[in-house]
C-alpha cells in the first residue's frame, strides 16, 4: 500500500477533523474489517515501530483494542498503567512524556482524567499522540468506531436521527459523538435530565451543531422516530465533590432507562449502541442489551479496525 503524509499526525479531538477526513479514516478502517475473520490476522505495515499505551484511567475495550491494533500491524506495543508509573511519585505529565520520548516511540496513546492531557502531551513530544479519552473532553476513536458501526448497520450516517441518552454532563463519548455525527450529516438529540446536560452542549461545534444538535429532557421525545439510540452510563467516578444530580439510580433508570417498552418510541429498525461498560438494569435493560437490535459488540469489533487505521495513519499516513 502507498501512503500520503498530508494528514495530521496527532488525533486529539474530532473538532480537528472535517467530514472528508473522518470519511477517509472510516474508509481506511474498512480495509481492516475483514481481517478479523481471517485465520491469520497480522499485517506487517508497522513492523519495527513502537506504540506506547499510557493509560492513567481504567479501560478494558480501548486499551485492549489499541494493543491488538498495534500488534495486528506488527508494531511493538508497550502498556504503561498510570497507577504503576512514576506519576504516583510526583512526576509531571510533561516529564513523563519527555522521558518516554527519549526511548523513541512512534506513537503514544494516552488516556487521562484531565481534559487537555492529550493536547499537552502532543506539545512536548515529537511522536504521534492519540487521545484515548481525556477527562470529560473527548474520546475521538470512540466516535470514529461508532460512526463506522452506524455506517455498517444503517448503510449511511447522513440524514439519520441519533439519540444520545444518559449522563451527558460527564461524557467525553457524548461530546465526540455529537461533533462527529453532526459533521457526517446526522441529527443528534441529546436526552437526559437537565442536571446531566452541560449548558451549551448544542454549541460545541458552533453553527453546525447549533443546527444539528437538539436537547430534550423527555425520553419519549428524544427517542421518537430515532434510527440510532446510544445509551450512556452514569459516570459516578466523575461526581466527586459534586452535589447529587438525581435522586437515586432507580429513579433515573425508571425515567431515562432503555427497556423493550421505551425502545418502542424509536423506529422499528432502530439500532441500540453503548460504548461500554454497561450498567445492566440501570441505563439499559438486559433484554435490550442482549437483544437483536443491539450492535454493542459490533462496536467493539469496529474498535480494532478503526484503531488500526488511526495508528497506521498516525505513523505512516493515509492510504494514497
For ligand ASP, the binding residues (CB under 6 A) are 133, 139, 172-173, 233, 235, 275-276
Q: Whose Cβ is closer to ligand ASP: residue 284's or residue 315's?
A: 284
CB of 142 to ligand ASP, least distance (A): 6
Quote the crossing angle between the two packed helices 140-154 and 296-315, to the nearest 10°: 120
Q: How many CB atoms within 10 Å of residue 308? A: 27
Burial level of 119, CB count in 10 A (0-12/13-18/19+)? middle
C-alpha distances in Å from residue 226, one per residue of 66, 160, 215, 229, 262: 31, 8, 14, 7, 12
Q: Are 281 and 290 in contact (CB under 8 A)?
A: no
CB of 239 to ligand ASP, least distance (A): 13
Q: Whose Cβ is closer to ligand ASP: residue 217's or residue 235's?
A: 235
Cα 299 to the center of its chain, rounded Å: 10
Q: Whose Cβ is closer to ligand ASP: residue 49's or residue 233's?
A: 233
CB of 252 to ligand ASP, least distance (A): 15
Q: Whose Cβ is closer to ligand ASP: residue 148's or residue 316's?
A: 148
Q: Whose Cβ is closer to ligand ASP: residue 115's or residue 317's?
A: 115
CA-closest candidate to residue 230, choices 291, 169, 178, 269: 178
CB of 316 to ligand ASP, least distance (A): 27
Expressed in angstroms, the distance from the first to the final Cα of the chain is: 8
Q: Whose Cβ is closer to ligand ASP: residue 116's or residue 317's?
A: 116
CB of 175 to ligand ASP, least distance (A): 10
Give the C-alpha separation, 83 to 92, whole Å.
14
Q: Whose Cβ is closer to ligand ASP: residue 72's or residue 172's?
A: 172
CB of 134 to ligand ASP, least distance (A): 10
Phi, psi of 77 (to 5 degrees): -115, 125
CB of 174 to ligand ASP, least distance (A): 9
Contacts 24+ apart (CB under 8 A), 31-36: 31/309, 31/319, 32/72, 32/304, 32/305, 32/308, 32/309, 33/302, 33/305, 35/72, 35/305, 35/308, 36/301, 36/304, 36/305
Q: Whose Cβ is closer to ligand ASP: residue 74's or residue 298's?
A: 298
CB of 111 to ligand ASP, least distance (A): 7
Phi, psi of 199 (to 5 degrees): -60, 130
DSSP letters along 228-277, please? EEEE----GGG-TTPPPSSS-HHHHHHHH-B-HHHHTTS-TT-EEE--S-
Give the C-alpha separation, 286 to 283, whole Å.
10
CB of 205 to ligand ASP, least distance (A): 19
Q: Whose Cβ is closer to ligand ASP: residue 46's or residue 288's?
A: 288
Amino acid at each position: 500500500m502507498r501512503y500520503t503524509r498530508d494528514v495530521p499526525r496527532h488525533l486529539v479531538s474530532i473538532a480537528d477533523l472535517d467530514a472528508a477526513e473522518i470519511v477517509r479514516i472510516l474508509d481506511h478502517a474498512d480495509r481492516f474489517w475483514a481481517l478479523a475473520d481471517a485465520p491469520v490476522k497480522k499485517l506487517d505495515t508497522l513492523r519495527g515501530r513502537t506504540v506506547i499505551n499510557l493509560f492513567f484511567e481504567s479501560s478494558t475495550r480501548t486499551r485492549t483494542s489499541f494493543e491488538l491494533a498495534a500488534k495486528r500491524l506488527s508494531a511493538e506495543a508497550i502498556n504503561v498503567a498510570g497507577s504503576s508509573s512514576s506519576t504516583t511519585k510526583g512526576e509531571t505529565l510533561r516529564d513523563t512524556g519527555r522521558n518516554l520520548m527519549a526511548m523513541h516511540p512512534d506513537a503514544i496513546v494516552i488516556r487521562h482524567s484531565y481534559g487537555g492531557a492529550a493536547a499537552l502531551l502532543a506539545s512536548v513530544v515529537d511522536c504521534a499522540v492519540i487521545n484515548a479519552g481525556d477527562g470529560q473532553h473527548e474520546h475521538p476513536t470512540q466516535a470514529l468506531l461508532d460512526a463506522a458501526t452506524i455506517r455498517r448497520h444503517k448503510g449511511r450516517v447522513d440524514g439519520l436521527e441519533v439519540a444520545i441518552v444518559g449522563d451527558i454532563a460527564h461524557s467525553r463519548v457524548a461530546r465526540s459523538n455529537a461533533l462527529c455525527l453532526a459533521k457526517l450529516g446526522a441529527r443528534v438529540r441529546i436526552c437526559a435530565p437537565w442536571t446531566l446536560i452541560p449548558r451549551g452542549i448544542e454549541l460545541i461545534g458552533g453553527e453546525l451543531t447549533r443546527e444539528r444538535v437538539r436537547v430534550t429532557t423527555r425520553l419519549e421525545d428524544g427517542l421518537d422516530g430515532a434510527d440510532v439510540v446510544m445509551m450512556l452510563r452514569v459516570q459516578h467516578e466523575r461526581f466527586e465533590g459534586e452535589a447529587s444530580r438525581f435522586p437515586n439510580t432507580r429513579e433515573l433508570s425508571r425515567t431515562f432507562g432503555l427497556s423493550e417498552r421505551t425502545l418502542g418510541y424509536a423506529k422499528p429498525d432502530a439500532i441500540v449502541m453503548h460504548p461500554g461498560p454497561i450498567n445492566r438494569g440501570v441505563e439499559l435493560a438486559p433484554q435490550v442489551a442482549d437483544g437483536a437490535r443491539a450492535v454493542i459488540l459490533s462496536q467493539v469489533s469496529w474498535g480494532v479496525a478503526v484503531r488500526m487505521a488511526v495508528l497506521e495513519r498516525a505513523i505512516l499516513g493515509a492510504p494514497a
